[in-house]
Amino acid sequence: MFSTIRRRMTYANITATLALVFAMSGGALAANRYLLTSTGQVSPKVLKALKGKTGSAGAAGAQGPAGPAGAQGLKGESGAAGTAGAVGPKGETGATGARGPAGVKGETGATGSPWTAGGTLPSGETETGVWATSGPEGVSGAVTIAIASFGIPLTEPEAVIPNVIGEEEGEGEPHQNLPAGCKGKPSKPEANPGNLCVFVTSALNVTLIIQQAKVSTAGAFAAVEHSVNDDFEARGSWAVTAK
């Protein structure tokens, strides 16, 4: 019963009850000065007993105005490097640039070697080589052989001086009766400009060593005559000097 009465005791109910009591007592209460003008006149214990429960929360109020901007924060640390991006497509070829000015003419180079491809033997220069021929027994007559093949072509054919008899390799002195257009020896043949000198080092079973010699800008050939019905051989060297 008391709990029911306590639940129904609110500040409004008590105030109404006191008002009713004062109305009934009238001037007596007023004469004895018991008029309540504030809660300070009520005992705290009574106020605590008369205090009602907290009501439910009201609706949220409207949002207030935005406050002023705060100070700028400190600079953060640099982040890690990102991965490399994909290679972009190839751009279009640019227009051809203007032609630059002509360069300064270079100095004339030194004379090249005459042993270059397509060149000819220069005047006064000499080429040398060797020749040889042989045959079995039972063969007689003339044998045509190449006696010279010019590694560097001549500008024009030179005169042939065949059968220049020199010393045997390693024996004696050079032959003293060399033709006017030839010099040197079989181991070191030489020729004056305009001549092809054919040196004979040795000959076996050969009668006319070199005859009917012919020369061109590329080389020379000749016939070797032998009449003995036996093995034969002949060998030697040559030199040609351009005019």
pLDDT in tens, 102-134: 888 888 866 665 566 678 888 899 999 999 888
Q: What is the mean pLDDT of residues 199-216?
A: 79
Q: What is the mean pLDDT of residues 68-97?
A: 85
Q: What is the mean pLDDT of residues 87-95?
A: 86
Both structure tokens of 28:
């007596």
pLDDT at residue 26 is higher than 70: no
pLDDT at residue 27 is higher than 50: no
Percent of the chain clearing pLDDT 90 (strictly above): 7
pLDDT for 240:
92
In the predicted model, what is the mean pLDDT of the chain?
Answer: 76
DSSP string, the chain: -HHHHHHT--HHHHHHHHHHHHHHHTHHHHHTT----SGGGS-HHHHHHHPPPPPPP-PPPPPPPPPPPPPPPPPPPPPPPPPPPPPPPPPPPPPPPPPPPPPPPPPPPPPPPTTSTT--PPTT-EEEEEEEEEE-TT--EEEEEEEEE-SS--SS--EEEEEEE-PPTTSSPPPS---TTEEEETTEEEE-TTEEEEEEEEEES-SEEEEEEEE-SSEEEEEEEE-SSS-EEEEEEEEEE--
pLDDT at residue 62 is higher than 60: yes
Across 90-104, 171-185, 186-200, 225-239, least confident range: 171-185
2 pLDDT band, cuts 50/70/90, is very low
pTM (predicted TM-score): 0.49
pLDDT for 92:
87
Choose between 107 and 53: higher pLDDT: 107
Strand order in the sheet with 232-241: 126-135, 232-241, 195-204, 159-165
Q: What is the mean pLDDT of residues 2-29?
A: 52
Q: What is the mean pLDDT of residues 54-78?
A: 83
pLDDT for 171:
44
